[in-house]
Structure 1
Amino acid sequence: MQNSIDGRGEAAWSFLTQRLTRTSKTFGDVLRYWNALRVGTDLPARSDLDPRVIQTALANAFILDRTRPGTIRIRVAGGHMNDLMGMEVRGMPIRAFFDLLERRRLMDLVETVFTKPALLELDLVSNNRSGPIIEGKMLILPMRDAAGNVNKALGCLVTHGDIGQTPRRFRIQRDVVTPIVVTQTPKPAPAMAGFNEPATSFEARPTGAASTPNTGIDGTPHIPTDLEAASKPGPVPWLRIVR
């Protein structure tokens, strides 16, 4: 199932957030924070993500890293995902959470998160023979890396029911792909106040000017520091050394 959402459509984002919040407050909190990190109509940057802001959702949250097409691994994951697999899942491919027969479909869907880009919702079910049936929902949201490429994603997975024997693997009951209309917006450069000096024009030394430098009480040449040069009126020094 596919919908589309304009990057500038705040009403559409508000409706989507409310709909996901009715499923679980975790989804609403994650989507709201992801949307707040956007610059204009662009996607959020992975470097701007501060986990402390969504602390209540951390157990269910994860970060995906797309190293190349078809290779999407879990970079960081919350404790709930470890519990579902019965092991540390960091570094594992995201397809490890799904039944073998579902993995091709899954990878096609997750690829659209990065290539369109798009928001992906998955309704899941796990009915292992040795454990109770559990249902869940996964949300995946695209993000940019430091170079501006869309190969990161913020996601979360919420399940209902006893986990039972692990690992738990899921089938996809329903998928919703929502393409996002984005326009890459350059981020403003950080202010560098205190590090920039005003430009000074070059002034040639007059012919015949005295070549004897100013000396200190011990007879060694004295070169004025930046602070001294700035505090004295008069022409710009011919030579200034920054220590």
Structure 2
Amino acid sequence: MGRVEMIRNYRKIESVMDHPNTQALFRYWNDLRAGRDAPSRSEVDPRRISGCLETMFILEALENGQLRFRLAGTRLCEWLGMEARGCVAETVMARGHESEMPDLARRVLRTPGIGVMRVRALDGAGTDWPGEALLLPLRSEIGDLARVIGCVNLEAEGPRRRVAPPLRLRCLGARLTPIETDPALARKDPERRFADPLGGLDFTEASGFAAPAPVFSRSLGAQDARPRLTAIEGDASASRPRGGGRRPNLRIVKD
């Protein structure tokens, strides 16, 4: 990926992030890692970053080298005009830019480092949207660097000016900062990376994320070999209710 610029001054990395939600996610992740190269996925508490959830995502590194969306915020899915969960990272990029996000994500995991991508997106109405994407490494449940938590934020999107889907991202340039570690800080709480502060709370229970993974709480007998899933609440594409109520952010299913 020839357009990645390496930034050696780690303390200035936040200055290249323009959007408050991008900065908030970075600060939360940086505090959570506590001197390590990356925090564990199980340490991330979505309640602590509720204001960022709608445009956040988590990528999973597959054995074949692809990066796939495990989770994606409802607003991000609305912008894209599709459910991003299960799609490869190339899907969200415009033609000619398909490799930019997955290449940066691989470098984020391999370095490991902090990736910031300056983007310009074209929506379905032909409107250009400037913005940025942030990519940060996470350790998986087994401890390997195989997850990327990130977000996409657009500078001018707001209540009076909305994206007309489908929207795709074009990369204007990217910056990668190697992560500085502090072994002394990391040793203070060696068990922290294996702790689960959520107490059973998953990202799919937090407002702003869509398409939860199915969870089966009982074993299936022969007559129940085929799970029956019934949508009971929410729709990521639904409009806001009359009277200004809050639009559902989740699609919840249960057997």
Give the TM interval when normalised to the shorter protein. 0.5 to 0.7
Task: Determine if contact 2:114/2:136 at 8 Å carries over to the other structure.
Answer: yes
Which of 99, 112, 115 is the aligned partner of 1:117?
A: 112
TM-score under structure 2 normalisation?
0.64
Counterparts of 1:80 and 1:65 in 2: how far apart (Å)? 20
* In the alignment, structure 1 residue 17 sits paired with structure 2 residue 21: no
Percent identity (aligned): 27
Moved more, 181-190 or 111-120: 181-190
Task: Determine if contact 1:3/1:177 at 8 Å carries over to the other structure.
Answer: yes
Counterparts of 1:143 and 1:172 in 2: how far apart (Å)? 23
Task: Determine if contact 1:4/1:180 at 8 Å carries over to the other structure.
Answer: no
Task: Determine if contact 1:60/1:77 at 8 Å carries over to the other structure.
Answer: yes
The match for 1:221 is none
- 1:164: how far off? 4.5
Counterparts of 1:69 and 1:113 in 2: how far apart (Å)? 17
The match for 2:132 is 137
What letter corresponds to residue 165 of structure 2 in structure 1?
T
- 1:84: how far off? 1.1
Task: Determine if contact 2:37/2:179 at 8 Å carries over to the other structure.
Answer: no
The match for 1:177 is 176
For each residue in 1:14-48, what CA deviation from the matched residue of structure 2 results, as whole angstroms up to 9, or x when unmatched? x433552xx11101110111011113333111110
Moved over 6 A (4+): none
Flag the structure with larger Rg: 1
The match for 1:68 is 63
Gaps in structure 2 of 5+ consecutive residues = 193-255
Equivalent positions of 1:3-82 (< 5 A) are: 3-4=7-8, 12-13=10-11, 15-20=12-17, 23-68=18-63, 70-82=65-77
Gaps in structure 1 of 5+ consecutive residues = 6-11, 191-243
What letter corresponds to residue 146 of structure 1 in structure 2?
E
TM-score under structure 1 normalisation?
0.67
- 1:138: how far off? 0.3
Q: CA RMSD in A?
A: 2.3
How many aligned residue pairs are there? 181
For each residue in 1:48-84, what CA deviation from the matched residue of structure 2 results, as whole angstroms up to 9, or x when unmatched? 0000000111111111111225311111111221111
What letter corresponds to residue 85 of structure 2 in structure 1?
R
